[in-house]
Amino acid sequence: MPRNMLTIANRIINQLIRDRRTIGLLVFVPLVIASLVGVSIPDKALLDYIAPAILATLILFFGFLLTGISFLRERSQGTLERLLAAPVSRLDIVGGYLFGFLLFALLQTMIIFFYMVYLLEVSFRGELWQILVFQVLIGIGAVCLGTFFSVFARNEFQMMQFIPLIIVPQIFLCGLLWPVSQMPDYLQWIAKFLPLTYGVDGIRTLMLQGQNLLDIGREVIILAAYAVGLLILAALTLRRGTSA
């Protein structure tokens, strides 16, 4: 990792660690949501089937929300403007924020997964490390997605409006509530362009069918391409302040 990028990431990590209330919410909120999932789905077989899709959805949602709001706060406080005036590239700035926020997004990911597996007793057949690696990939995509769309928001309220615009449609079309193959043709076509569709397909294949990362190579490549593309777009569209 370049030195400038590492310095920015380290500042973000230290800043969030000092905010005890934020850390508490990062840990507490995923546990509450996961508990509601376990209580509301008493049928064990149904829970085992739905849990992987819910896991991918929560990773995307929390990663997007954490990154988007935090990145926007950096702009509103003038921190980002000072970085843009410093001798660092825009890619260094976006990459530094990515790695800084990613640590906490992954923390939430691990909390949700292990809580579901060991306390809600969700069954899985794949190798644990491969499931975790794929979850990390979904988390990276979520952080990149939040970083990119935060560029277009001027305040927290506008950032929150991206949730029903960007996240909610993916929840309905990713196969969480209904198989994509049974949706109308035009919705299946839209679903092909949504990253959560590939996140749900991949993690279900790993957890329910016991296959490995090579078997879901298409999903891995598409999610990685989404992350890289969004990271580059975020760097290209990065602007100063919140009024630009």
pLDDT digits (tens, 9 = 90+) for 148-170: 888 888 888 888 889 889 999 99
Q: How many Å apart are CA 151 and CA 140, to the nearest integer? A: 17
Residue 244 has pLDDT above 70, yes or no: no
CA 115 vs CA 28, 76, 94, 154: distances in Å? 12, 35, 31, 36
Residue 196 has pLDDT above 70, yes or no: yes
> For 39-52, how does the pLDDT look when each residue is reduced to its tens digit (9 = 90+)?
888 888 888 889 89
Higher pLDDT, 219 or 46: 219
pLDDT of residue 239: 60
What average pLDDT does the segment 227-243 reach?
Answer: 74
Share of the chain above pLDDT 70, in %: 97
Helix, strand, coil proportions of the chain in percent (round to 5)?
Answer: 80, 0, 20
What average pLDDT does the segment 205-228 reach?
Answer: 94
Higher pLDDT, 130 or 78: 130
The structural domains of the chain, with segments of one domain joined by +, span 3-237
Residue 115 has pLDDT above 50, yes or no: yes
Q: Using alpha carbons, select from 143, 178, 153 the residue that is nearest to residue 64.
A: 143
Angle at CA of residue 164, ends 161 and 170, nearest 5°: 140
Angle at CA of residue 131, ends 203 and 202, nearest 5°: 20
Q: How confident is the model at residue 242 (pLDDT cuts 50, 70, 90)?
A: very low
Q: Using alpha carbons, select from 134, 58, 132, 139 the residue that is nearest to residue 101.
A: 139
pLDDT of residue 243: 43
Q: What is the overall mean pLDDT for the chain?
A: 86
Report for 21-35, 86-100, 219-233: range of highest mean pLDDT: 219-233
Share of the chain above pLDDT 90, in %: 29
Paired tokens of 125: 């057949």
Q: How many Å apart are CA 234 and CA 154, to the nearest integer? A: 15
CB 141 within 8 A of CB 166: no
Residue 240 has pLDDT above 80, yes or no: no
pLDDT of residue 229: 93
Q: Using alpha carbons, select from 176, 216, 40, 16 the residue that is nearest to residue 97.
A: 16
